[in-house]
Amino acid sequence: MECIFCRLDDYALENDLAYAVFDAMPVNEGHMLIIPKRHVQNYFDLKPEEEAAMLELLHKGKKLIEEKYSPDGYNFGVNCNSCAGQSVMHAHMHLIPRYRGDSEAPLGGVRGVIPEKMGYIVKK
């Protein structure tokens, strides 16, 4: 099966080993995907230089999103394998801008991948 990420060519950002695009089905305005140019399924199978290239674009993407959308915060992360929610089997990182009021209860952030673990109380 042909990989949809391997066909992309309209990059918002790019370096030698990776590129960034705005997500076609964004969670929030400005949602970006950071993708290695080499087709590899799992983030943990990236070469160190590919991971570094993706992290470079993560920071450049944040700057671009700041200038364009002025978000109040961010979530970023990677889904590895279908049981963790990966739907395109080409490694990629999500950079999701967050805006005050976009969620009724944002406490827990990325813990929301398992909804019943989202809300928790910090014990002092």
Domains of the chain: 5-117 (3.30.428.10)
Catalytic residue among 39, 90, 92, 94: 92
CA distances from 74 to 1, 47, 51, 58, 95 (A): 33, 26, 20, 11, 7
The answer to whether 31 is a known catalytic residue is no
pLDDT in tens, 32-64: 999 999 999 999 999 999 999 999 999 999 999
pLDDT in tens, 85-102: 999 999 999 999 999 999
Nearest of 75, 84, 122 to residue 103 by alpha carbon: 75
pTM attached to this predicted model: 0.91
